[in-house]
């Protein structure tokens, strides 16, 4: 009997089945389908072997039993092929719809089995070689090739909806199966169709369904791949699930215990694994994610670990927890993780240890996400503009400079408020490209003959915190000014105090390099927040800009007047020029002129203007001052 190949296939499939059942795995709908296909493959190969036995011992068996044995094997081949199609399409539709479609496919499989069983089958046996042939077998080959090709084509038709790894594995699986059927069709004595099916299952197992591929062996929990599959299936099927992110990166570092964070993570994961009804995942960095179909299970685990470690390891117990109660309502795991990162960036030290994501949080996040995309499109479409706000020199009694301010127009031509897009740009890093675009447009303007004829000595360009600390800042700025042949002295770089607080050393290095080639610097928002006089001592500033809050307080508070007077005297001694921002009335202007403030900026003169309007304003205003 030529059953050696079938026995090898049977052993191979049974071993896969044992490995699959004994390994720790994530329970998913698609995994259950794969498990059923493994069982069907075992049954298919067993029926193949039994049919060979029935043929070999047909002299001792009834012809009907022999025929049933042979046709049962052929029908199991059909069932196995249709099961493969059911498995393949499990990625492209929700579970309920998939169950309905699978029911229709099962009916088609039954019809094919009926047609195959209806036609006669013949037996060949000679010198131990056994096989079947006839109309029944030919019809099986026809159905087999059509069905396998249909599965193959499905992976291309639904290319964007089937996971890349699944497409690759299924195509390889079908290729092996088709090759096996072709070999057996050409040489009926080579009964390799069942073995080819087993070999294909082994490919799918190791490429897709190997439970070990979902395990983080270092931490003995599920990994990020498993998290992606779990979340993807729940979102596709709209199955409610709660997701909880435990962030350890803050608590350990802040408490000076970062050296053994990995050990503490393993301890926490081991403890969390003792809770039933939850999945524990090790995500990137120092984040642990737990999921469950219900909130109570998640909160039981969270409260459990906090109580357990409150005394023995308070740093671990104080790890920040972000709870997302309706995670299934999002479109992807990536969106969920971006929301968690957003929540972490918004979290303050005095926040509760457990932060539940609210609808307002989601709305704010979605706004930020939409604004990020709008900034990206605006940069691509060149809808980023520079508005200039005139700065008045009290000594020259004319406008000698301006501040460049970034503006974005939407597609309808309206302006987006800077208060909406600048915070988002700073969070997402897009502020670098916005800042570069502002500097480029400013240099382009300053390089024109019009700027020189207006008598503009310099234009202030803001540097964000992110820009000011960039290692490549010097090279980027120099490349731009050289491109437009603008003297560095005609660009004044404005830095806020917050940049100095966050990255003083990096900012100072950049300032010194740029100062050496002729750029000047202004300290913006002086008098706001944690003003530090040492910044003026240590940093090479040329201009000090009084914050609007201080200029407003100047008119209603005697202490503020004293502070401004002191700043004025100090600036004289340090050879710094002073700019008063936010001047809106004639009375405010006269008061600061009386205090010998060097420059005045504010709505009293003009709001920020588009470049053409700015040019007309300066021409008219400075012409009037010369006439006067």
- CA angle 272–220–15, rounded 5-degree value: 125
Distance of CA 542 to CAs 452, 521, 523, Å? 22, 5, 8
**What whole-number distance in Å separates Cα of residue 142 and Cα of residue 544?**
85
What is the 3 state secondary structure string of 6-58?
HHHHHHHHHHHHHHHHHCCCCCCHHHHHHHHHHHHHHHHHHHHHHHHHHHHCH
User: By mean pLDDT, which of 96-100, 219-223, 472-476, 530-534 is the weakest?
Assistant: 530-534
For residue 185, how many other CB atoms are within 10 A of its CB? Answer: 16
pLDDT digits (tens, 9 = 90+) for 309-329: 877 777 677 778 899 999 988
More confident residue, 499 or 112: 112
- The better pLDDT of the pair 403, 263 is held by 403
Q: Contact, 162 vs 146, CB < 8 A?
A: no
275 pLDDT band (50/70/90 cuts)?
very high
Report pLDDT digits (tens) over 544-589.
Answer: 998 888 888 887 888 888 888 888 888 888 999 999 999 999 998 9
Per DSSP, helices labelled H in 238-358 are 249-254, 261-272, 295-309, 314-317, 333-346
**Which of the four pLDDT bands, split at 50, 70 and 90, describes residue 606?**
very high
- State the chain's mean pLDDT as an integer: 86
CA 71 to chain centre: 52
Q: What are phi and psi of 108, to 5 degrees?
A: -60, -40
CA distance 439 to 380: 17
Q: What is the pLDDT of residue 627?
A: 41
Nearest CA to 36 out of 79, 71, 74 is that of 79
294, 277 in Cβ contact below 8 A? yes
pLDDT of 622 above 90: no
Sheet holding 320-324, edge to edge: 215-216, 221-222, 279-282, 287-292, 242-247, 320-324, 354-356
The pLDDT of residue 83: 92
Place of tokens 């006067």: 628
Q: How far apart are CA 562 and CA 509, in angstroms?
A: 34
**What value does the mean pLDDT take over residues 84-93?**
88
pLDDT tens readout for residues 281-301: 998 777 899 999 999 999 999
Q: What is the DSSP string of 439-498?
A: HHHHHHHHHSHHHHHTT--EEEEEE-HHHHT-TTHHHHHHHHHHHHT--GGGEEEEEEHH
d(CA 243, CA 299): 10
325: closest CA among 245, 394, 248, 427?
Answer: 245
185 and 118 in contact (C-beta within 8 Å)?
no
Residue 166 token pair: 């699944």
Q: How far is CA 281 from CA 231, 263, 308, in A?
A: 11, 16, 20
| CA atoms of 408 and 385, how far apart (whole Å) | 6
The three-class DSSP label of residue 396 is: coil
62: its two tokens: 């009834």
H helix and E strand count, the chain:
25, 19
**Residues in contact with 278: Cβ distance below 8 Å, sequence separation at least 6, in sequence order:** 272, 290, 291, 292, 297, 298, 301
Give the pLDDT of residue 350. 52
Nearest to 56 by CA among 149, 132, 162, 5: 132
Is the alpha carbon torsion for 220, 225, 228, 234 positive or negative? Answer: negative
Q: What percent of the chain has pLDDT over 90?
A: 39
Task: List 384's β-bridge partners, or say none.
Answer: 408
3-state secondary structure of 202: helix
CA dihedral 53→59→61→62, nearest 10 degrees, is 130
pLDDT band at 625 (very low <50, low <70, confident <90, very high): low
**What is the 3-state secondary structure of 96-159?**
HHHHHHHHHHHHHHHHHHHHHHHCCCEEEEECCEEEEECHHHHHHHHHHHHHHHHHHHHHHHCC
pLDDT tens profile 421-454:
998 998 888 999 999 999 999 999 999 878 888 8
C-alpha dihedral sign at 481, 487, 489, 490: negative
- Please give the pLDDT value at position 299: 93
Residue 4's pLDDT is: 79
Query: Which residues, including other chains, have CB under 8 Å from residue 507's CB and lie 6 or more apart?
Result: 468, 469, 495, 499, 500, 539
**Which residues are bridge partners to 604 per DSSP?**
none
Measured between alpha carbons, how far is 248 from 306 in angstroms, rounded to an integer?
Answer: 13
624 has pLDDT over 80: no
232 vs 186, 239, 325, 330, 577, CA distance in Å?
Answer: 43, 10, 16, 10, 59
Query: How many other CB atoms are found less than 10 A from the CB of residue 538?
Result: 12
Ranking 241-250, 372-381, 456-465 by mean pLDDT, the lowest is 241-250
Q: How far apart are CA 515 and CA 540, in angstroms?
A: 7
Q: What is the mean pLDDT of residues 267-288?
A: 88
Q: Which long-range contacts (CB under 8 A, 24 or more apart) does 13-20 make?
A: 13/38, 13/41, 13/42, 13/45, 13/198, 13/201, 13/202, 14/42, 16/201, 16/202, 16/205, 17/42, 19/205, 19/211, 20/205, 20/209, 20/211
Is pLDDT of 628 > 60? no
Exposure class string for 357-390: b at 16+ Cβ within 10 A, else e: beeebbeebeebbebbebbeebbeeebbbbbbbb
pLDDT at 383: 94
Write the pLDDT tens digit of every residue in 145-202. 888 888 888 888 888 888 788 888 888 888 888 888 788 777 766 767 778 888 888 8
Domains of the chain: 4-209 (1.20.1070), 213-357 (3.30.70.270), 389-404+432-622 (3.20.20.450)
Rounded mean pLDDT, 501-509: 79
Q: Residue 535, SS3?
A: helix
The whole model's pTM is what?
0.66
Please report the pLDDT score of residue 253 as a whole number: 42
Q: 368 near 339, Cβ under 8 Å?
A: no
Give me the pLDDT at residue 466, please: 83
Please say whether the beta carbons of 222 and 282 come within 8 A: yes
Helical spans, DSSP H, in 395-430: 418-428
Q: How far apart are CA 209 and CA 340, in angstroms?
A: 28
User: Strands 398-409 and 458-463: what pairing?
Assistant: parallel
């Amino acid at each position: 009997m030529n059953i050696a190949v079938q026995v090898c296939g049977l052993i191979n499939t049974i071993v896969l089945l044992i490995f699959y059942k004994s390994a720790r795995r994530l329970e998913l709908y698609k995994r259950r389908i794969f498990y059923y296909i493994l069982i069907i493959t075992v049954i298919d190969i067993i029926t193949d072997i039994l049919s060979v036995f029935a043929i070999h011992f047909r002299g001792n068996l009834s012809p009907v039993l022999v025929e049933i044995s042979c046709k049962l094997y052929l029908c199991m081949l059909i069932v196995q092929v249709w099961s493969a199609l059911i498995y393949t399409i499990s990625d492209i539709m929700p579970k309920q719809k998939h169950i309905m479609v699978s029911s229709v496919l099962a009916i088609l499989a039954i019809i094919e089995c009926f047609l195959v069983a209806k036609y006669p089958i013949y037996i060949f046996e000679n010198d131990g070689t056994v096989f079947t042939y006839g109309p029944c077998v030919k019809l099986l080959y026809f159905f087999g090739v059509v069905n396998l090709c249909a599965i193959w084509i499905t992976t291309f038709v639904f290319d964007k909806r089937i996971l890349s790894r699944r497409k690759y594995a299924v195509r390889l699986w079908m290729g092996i199966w088709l090759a096996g059927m072709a070999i057996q069709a050409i040489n009926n004595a080579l009964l390799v169709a069942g073995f080819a099916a087993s070999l294909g299952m082994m490919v799918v197992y190791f490429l897709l369904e190997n439970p070990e591929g979902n395990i983080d062996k270092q931490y003995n929990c599920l990994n990020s791949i498993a998290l992606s599959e779990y979340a993807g299936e729940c979102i596709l099927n709209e199955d409610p699930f709660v997701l909880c992110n435990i962030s350890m990166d803050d608590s350990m570092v802040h408490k000076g215990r970062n050296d053994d964070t990995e050990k503490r993570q393993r301890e926490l994961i081991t403890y969390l694994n003792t809770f039933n009804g939850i999945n524990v995942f090790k995500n990137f960095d120092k984040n642990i994610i737990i999921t469950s179909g219900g909130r109570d299970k998640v909160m039981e685990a969270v409260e459990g670990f906090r109580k357990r470690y409150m005394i023995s390891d308070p740093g671990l117990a104080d790890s920040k927890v972000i709870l997302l109660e309706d995670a299934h309502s999002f479109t992807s795991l990536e969106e969920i993780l971006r929301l968690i990162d957003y929540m972490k960036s918004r979290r303050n030290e005095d926040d509760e240890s457990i932060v539940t994501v609210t609808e307002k949080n989601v709305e704010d996040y979605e706004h930020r996400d939409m604004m990020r995309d709008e900034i990206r499109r605006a940069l691509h479409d060149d809808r980023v503009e520079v508005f200039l706000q005139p700065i008045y020199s009290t000594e020259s009694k004319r406008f000698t400079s301006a501040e460049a301010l970034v503006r974005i127009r939407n597609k309808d031509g309206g302006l987006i408020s800077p208060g909406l897009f600048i915070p988002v740009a700073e969070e997402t890093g897009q502020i670098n490209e916005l800042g570069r675009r502002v500097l480029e447009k400013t240099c382009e303007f300053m390089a024109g003959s019009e700027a020189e004829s207006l008598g503009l000595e310099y234009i202030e360009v803001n540097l964000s915190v992110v820009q000011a600390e960039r290692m490549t800042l010097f090279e980027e700025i120099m490349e731009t000014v050289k491109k437009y042949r603008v003297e560095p002295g005609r660009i004044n770089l404005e830095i806020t105090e917050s940049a100095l607080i966050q990255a003083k050393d990096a900012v100072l290095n950049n300032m010194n390099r740029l100062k050496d080639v002729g750029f000047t610097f202004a300290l913006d928002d002086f008098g706001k927040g944690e003003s530090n006089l040492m910044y003026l001592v240590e940093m090479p500033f040329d201009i000090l800009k009084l914050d609007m809050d201080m200029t407003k307080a100047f008119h209603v508070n005697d202490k503020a007047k004293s502070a401004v007077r002191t700043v004025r005297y100090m600036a004289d001694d340090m050879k710094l020029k002073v700019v008063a921002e936010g001047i809106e009335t004639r009375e405010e202007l006269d008061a600061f002129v009386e205090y010998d403030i060097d420059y005045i900026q504010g709505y009293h003169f003009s709001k920020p203007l588009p470049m053409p309007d700015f040019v007309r304003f300066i021409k008219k205003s400075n012409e009037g001052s010369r006439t006067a």
